């Protein structure tokens, strides 16, 4: 993972170039795949662009998708900074969204209502991340395994909770909706809410914590070199706990953003269908954003654009999941930075 952490300005520049190269590889490879399956790649990419940046309204859809993605990306990025491979954002988002809907059942005045929803989602996310910390810290269980298991547990447990306790009395396909006063205020109807700015603000907060506070310094020190950190008197346990908790909070907030800040009906559909994959896609966002909180804002908008575009790509007979196909290809290219170096040498 060390290769993906930018150091200094020149490192930052080459990171941007590497991500751009990876995106190019991703689009090229997906274009070939589309052609193999008998679809017109040019048309597909046109609709992707049209659906995401083609109009002001489409751009607000892009931002609506970006808002939760930015937050789940933070979960992964904070983990990497602490030397952890936390892929638990997916399940933690379900838990946060469920807590947000539950908190929304209590009608509170404007402002306080949203605050309550956010606190409930963040706290639930933090709590959900504790088992992985305990298993890692006290039993040495690899967090890849524990966080994935927690994802699957959340998938079943939260459906159980929604179906039994949170269902909309009038409809059987969704939970109760979050009341208007507890939602993120709308700036530009129908899709642009304060949520995207909230996500960016959380990014800044995480950035500030990681680089401007002693706790953040310890967290990064443990991530870069746990042995050296130990020698300089930093015990790895506390930074690890904070990394899990912070990751849990951001993923929980992502759940709140998804149900209280983006699209109607401000609820959870049965099968969690409007929640799935936001956590996994956040990993792609973090990798494209090189695990840097501020770059993640841009990477989140990039992937949000793919998702928004994917809705219009369906016109061309291509399903929505083209997003993960392209994203997977991009991640392959990011996994092998050697590929970019070979390409650059060829150019010279």
Partner 1 sequence: MSFDVTSVGAISVISLDFMVPIAMTAVGEIFAEKAGVVNIGLEGVMLTSAWFAVLIAWTVNDPYLGLIGGMAMGVAFGALHSVISVWLKGDQIISGVGINLFALGFVPFATFAVWHVSGVYPPVSFSFGRIAEISTPWAPLSYFVPMSVVIAILFWYVLYRTKWGFQIRATGENPEAADAVGIDVEKTRIIAVLIGSALAGLAGAYLSIDVVGQITKDISAGRGFIALATVVFSGWNPLVGLLGALVFGYSEGTATWLAGVPEVRSAIPHADYLLGAIPYIATLVVVAVAIGRSRPPKAVGIPYKRE
Indicate the residue among 215 and 317 with the shorter CB distance to partner 1.
317
Indicate the residue among 38 and 214 with the shorter CB distance to partner 1.
38
| CA dihedral for 281, 113, 61, 200, sign (positive or negative) | negative
Indicate the residue among 201 and 335 with the shorter CB distance to partner 1.
335
- Minimum CB separation of residue 329 from partner 1 in Å reads 7
Indicate the residue among 195 and 287 with the shorter CB distance to partner 1.
287
Indicate the residue among 218 and 327 with the shorter CB distance to partner 1.
327
Indicate the residue among 16 and 325 with the shorter CB distance to partner 1.
325
- Minimum CB separation of residue 317 from partner 1 in Å reads 8
Q: CA-to-CA distance for 147 and 239, rounded, in angstroms? A: 18
Residue 263 φ then ψ, to 5°: -95, 155
Q: CA-to-CA distance for 255 and 124, rounded, in angstroms? A: 10
- Minimum CB separation of residue 157 from partner 1 in Å reads 6
Largest CA distance in the chain: 66
Q: CA-to-CA distance for 347 and 193, rounded, in angstroms? A: 44
With a CB cutoff of 8 Å and minimum separation 6, the contacts of 13 are none
Residues forming the site for partner 1 (CB under 8 A) = 1, 3-4, 37-39, 85, 87, 131, 135, 139-142, 144-146, 148-153, 155-157, 159-160, 163-164, 277, 280-281, 283-284, 287, 317-332, 334-339
Indicate the residue among 84 and 259 with the shorter CB distance to partner 1.
84
- Is 21:39 a contact under the CB 8 Å cutoff? no
- Minimum CB separation of residue 189 from partner 1 in Å reads 30
With a CB cutoff of 8 Å and minimum separation 6, the contacts of 210 are 78, 81, 216, 219, 220, 293
- Minimum CB separation of residue 145 from partner 1 in Å reads 5
- Minimum CB separation of residue 324 from partner 1 in Å reads 3
- Minimum CB separation of residue 54 from partner 1 in Å reads 22
The number of residues making up the chain comes to 348
Ramachandran class of 233: left when φ > 0, alpha when ψ lies in -120 to 50, beta otherwise: left
Q: CA-to-CA distance for 326 and 28, rounded, in angstroms? A: 9
Indicate the residue among 177 and 277 with the shorter CB distance to partner 1.
277
- Minimum CB separation of residue 219 from partner 1 in Å reads 20
Indicate the residue among 305 and 318 with the shorter CB distance to partner 1.
318
In terms of C-beta density within 10 A (0-12 exposed, 13-18 middle, 19 or more buried), how is residue 348 classed? exposed
Structure tokens at 296: 């993640």
The DSSP annotation for 226-268 comes to HHHHHHTT--SHHHHHHHHHHHHHHHHHHHHHHHHHSSTT-S-
- Is 45:26 a contact under the CB 8 Å cutoff? no
- Minimum CB separation of residue 240 from partner 1 in Å reads 16
C-alpha separations of 136 from 72, 139, 145, 241, 244 in Å: 21, 6, 10, 10, 10
Total Cβ atoms within 10 A of residue 246: 27
């Amino acid at each position: 993972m060390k290769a993906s952490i930018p150091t200094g300005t020149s490192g930052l520049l080459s990171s941007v170039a590497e991500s751009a190269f990876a995106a190019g590889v991703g689009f090229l490879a997906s274009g070939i795949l589309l052609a193999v399956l008998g679809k017109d790649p040019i048309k597909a990419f046109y609709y992707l662009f049209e659906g995401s940046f083609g109009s002001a309204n489409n751009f607000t859809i892009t931002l609506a998708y970006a808002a939760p993605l930015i937050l789940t990306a933070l979960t992964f990025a904070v983990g990497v900074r602490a030397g952890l491979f936390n892929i638990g954002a997916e399940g933690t988002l379900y838990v946060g969204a469920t807590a947000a809907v539950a908190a929304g059942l209590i009608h509170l005045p404007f402002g306080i209502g949203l605050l309550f929803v956010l606190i409930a989602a963040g706290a639930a996310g933090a709590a959900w991340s504790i088992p992985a910390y305990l298993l890692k810290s006290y039993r040495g269980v690899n967090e890849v395994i524990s966080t994935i298991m927690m994802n699957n547990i959340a998938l079943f447990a939260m459906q159980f909770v929604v179906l039994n306790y949170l269902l909309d009395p009038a409809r059987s396909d969704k939970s109760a909706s979050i009341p208007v006063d507890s939602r993120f205020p709308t700036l530009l109807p129908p899709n642009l809410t304060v949520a995207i700015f909230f996500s960016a603000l959380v990014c800044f907060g995480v950035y500030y914590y990681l680089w401007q506070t002693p706790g953040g310094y310890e967290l990064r020190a443990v991530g870069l070199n746990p042995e050296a950190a130990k020698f300089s008197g930093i015990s790895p346990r506390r930074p690890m706990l904070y990394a899990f908790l912070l990751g849990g909070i951001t993923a929980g907030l992502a759940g709140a953003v998804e149900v209280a800040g983006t699209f109607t009906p401000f609820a959870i559909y049965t099968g969690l269908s409007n929640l799935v994959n936001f956590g996994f896609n956040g990993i792609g966002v973090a990798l494209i954003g090189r695990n840097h909180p501020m770059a993640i804002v841009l990477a989140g908008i990039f992937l949000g654009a793919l998702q928004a575009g994917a809705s219009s790509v369906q016109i061309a007979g291509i399903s929505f999941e083209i997003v993960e196909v392209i994203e997977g290809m991009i991640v392959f290219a990011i996994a092998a930075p050697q590929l970019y170096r070979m390409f650059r040498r060829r150019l010279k």
